[in-house]
Amino acid sequence: MSIALIVILIVTASLILGPLAMMRPDPVQKNKENLRMLARASGVHYSIRNLPKQADEQDAPEPSPVYFAPPSETQNSASWMLVRTGYEHEIHFLGWWAWQGEARATDAELVVLKEHLKVLPESVRAISAGGKGVCVYWGEKGGEPVLQQILHLIGALKQAA
């Protein structure tokens, strides 16, 4: 066997196996997929949506992963949204959360929000409810414990609606 044949076999094998190895998901992608499957098993869906631009942002934010429960037939259609701001201010809800638009949460939803927002990590960027269901915009950081907090929040907001 000549050296040239060995080199050709090595190059051929790497041309075949290289792209196959690159198509495998990395551990971060596997973790995100696992989180999405756990959410789906709980009846919570996943999508990518855009957040509104905040006053302190120069550019529009990147699209964000959203975990949401579809709206129920009895859920009101007035949609409200709370977005975490980059600064604390007394006019914000609980200091860090800014209302988007004119609609506000019901009294029952406010009780749930006051209980849950204080313990949510910064990777949760926004929460909304209304015609599109109950949505939590989450950067998918913190793993399964944060997912469980989000699932609990979504369930509590659905019951309150």
The predicted-structure confidence for 32-65, as pLDDT tens digits, reads as follows: 899 999 999 999 999 998 888 776 666 777 888 9
DSSP 6: H
Question: Please, which residues bridge with residue 81 across strands?
Answer: 100, 128
The predicted-structure confidence for 10-22, as pLDDT tens digits, reads as follows: 888 888 888 877 7
* Mean pLDDT computed over 64-77: 79
The predicted-structure confidence for 128-158, as pLDDT tens digits, reads as follows: 998 888 999 999 998 899 999 999 999 998 8
Closest CA to 65 of 105, 31, 99, 113: 31
Q: State how far the Cα of 5 lies from the Cα of 50, in Å rounded to an integer.
A: 54
Closest CA to 103 of 78, 137, 85, 126: 78
152 token code pair: 């609990």
Query: Is the pLDDT assigned to residue 66 strictly greater than 80?
Result: yes
Q: State how far the Cα of 158 lies from the Cα of 127, in Å rounded to an integer.
A: 12
Instruction: Report the first-to-last Cα separation within the chain, whole angstroms.
Output: 75
The predicted-structure confidence for 87-105, as pLDDT tens digits, reads as follows: 777 777 777 888 888 888 8
Residue 18, Ramachandran bin (φ over 0: left; ψ between -120 and 50: alpha; else beta) = alpha
